[in-house]
Structure 1
């Protein structure tokens, strides 16, 4: 468990501060705070890699569930990133495979009281009149 996921980081934590937190427990090979590409702000989590499993475990044992700033951090063994489709406009659209108007889940003229439906008392529906 040399590489660890560190969640719950304060949004102002820098990579140098993250390194310093873990360096007390052994040699830090790398420390990375994950940033939002759009805003440039931290996402509140990162990864730290220690030089040995023993150092990583010592750091986890000491720092897991501790408070940094006003947030409680959580440290787990890092797992490989799962393959997932890249963003963009490729693939099947999520909005086109189910009807949204007139289906049985509300919407406009649905049976559960949407607009114009025969549900309980939907706006414009028949309500209890039968």
Structure 2
């Protein structure tokens, strides 16, 4: 079963690392370089899960999660936050916005694959 993922991160290197971690495991990876771009990309796809960074220009991860959750068709789509941030208050804020989980960078590719299979499979 091929799962479709939207990865939203302002770092090209991080988007590439996510793609390199997920494609060999059979995932289809769509990418966006910030929250606003993520909303645009989301318009044309129905991902099984979304990965988002928190600190991004134009629209940060919290704004992006809010915008995704406002869309009926994406209310239940799992959203994993992938960020360098580890503060409990930020995790609580992300959960309140509708995030499903939190992974701190740098990430272990095998763990990311497993987490996505758990939430999206």
Task: Compare CA radii of gyration and give the structure with the larger one.
Answer: 1
Higher relative contact order (CA 8 A, sep 6+): 2
The structure richer in strand per residue is 1
The structure that is helix-richer by fraction is: 2
Q: TM-score, normalised by structure 2?
A: 0.29
